[in-house]
Amino acid sequence: MDLERLTALIDAYGSEPRRWPTHERQAALTLLATSAEAQAHLREAAALDALLAVRLPEIEPSASLKARVLAQTRQRPVATPGWRAQIAEALAQLFPRGQAMPQFAALALALAIGIGAGLSNVDLGSDGDMISYQLAAAANPVYFEE
């Protein structure tokens, strides 16, 4: 057990040795008995544990705060729009002037280019892709005799 591992144990499990993993507890306690730096880190962790253990008082909201929150919930519409209205609203936010056609045309063009590029690189079976096939053909030319 070294100081770095003990520090990691204290940071992860707190200052109480009973919370530490059982297979490392005895080695950690031995290091604590001999190292002043380890003891200082344990004291800092104990102070933090004490701060975290303090129970905070429950705070009851005031009557005016409750009234304001309830008034705001009553002002909101109860009915939610249908899915078509939600899609129309999202499109209106994306294209505020209503000119969605150029954006959709650009999207369709990018999609067509992507599909075309994907289909143009058709696998030729066991020979591999087009470049491999062309390289193999260039390396091993076939000559026809007449």
* pLDDT in 10s for each residue of the chain, 146 residues: 899 999 999 999 999 999 999 999 999 999 999 999 999 999 999 999 999 889 888 889 999 999 988 888 776 665 667 888 887 787 777 777 766 677 777 888 888 888 887 777 655 555 456 666 666 666 666 655 55
Q: What is the pLDDT of residue 36?
A: 93
Q: Which residues of 19-56 are buried (b: 16+ CB within 10 A; e: fewer)?
A: ebeeeebeebeebbeebeebeebbeebeeeeeeeeeee
Distance CA 67, CA 79 (A): 23
Q: Which of 122, 118, 124 is nearest to 136 (CA)?
A: 124
Q: What is the pLDDT of residue 135?
A: 66
Q: What is the pLDDT of residue 63?
A: 92
Report the predicted TM-score, pTM, of the whole model to 2 decimal places.
0.41
Phi, psi of 81 (to 5 degrees): -70, 155
Q: What is the pLDDT of residue 41?
A: 93
Q: What is the pLDDT of residue 127?
A: 45
Distance CA 5, CA 8 (A): 5
Which token pair is 113?
A: 């280019």
Q: What is the pLDDT of residue 105?
A: 78
